Amino acid sequence: EAQVTQNPRYLITVTGKKLTVTCSQNMNHEYMSWYRQDPGLGLRQIYYSMNVEVTDKGDVPEGYKVSRKEKRNFPLILESPSPNQTSLYFCASSPLAGGRRQIRSNEQFFGPGTRLTVL
């Protein structure tokens, strides 16, 4: 089954304790992205990656790191989590192929989400 998986699904941690949220996709997609969803703010992009070893900042990258050593995996790293990073996190992926940009769908496939609480 084609899917994006995230682990863990739920995590409660304390301020300053490093954590990693894993994301993996089995669709051979080049593009991967991390979002956070907060009440009243919708989905905001944290980081994205166009391919292996190619990553770039989204709208809210502060306090986060990512890596893309393999095509299928795109972990999100919080080196020193703080309470304002309590949120619902989604990983997404998309193929870069699709012919001329005018016919490309830009559809992204989302994982099930990780609810993180930082105390």
Partner 1 sequence: DQQVKQNSPSLSVQEGRISILNCDYTNSMFDYFLWYKKYPAEGPTFLISISSIKDKNEDGRFTVFLNKSAKHLSLHIVPSQPGDSAVYFCAASDRSSGAGSYQLTFGKGTKLSVIP
For partner 1, the binding residues (CB under 8 A) are: 4, 31, 35, 40-45, 48, 50, 56, 58, 90, 92, 94, 96, 101-113
Give the angle 17-10-31 at the CA atoms, nearest 5°: 90
Comparison of 14 and 41: residue with beta carbon closer to partner 1: 41
The distance of closest approach from Cβ of residue 114 to partner 1 in the complex, given in angstroms and rounded to an integer, is 10
DSSP letter at 80?
A: S
Comparison of 53 and 79: residue with beta carbon closer to partner 1: 53
Contact 12, 119 (CB under 8 A): yes
Comparison of 7 and 45: residue with beta carbon closer to partner 1: 45
In this structure, what is the dihedral angle of CA atoms 69, 73, 39, 15, given to the nearest 10 degrees? Answer: -60
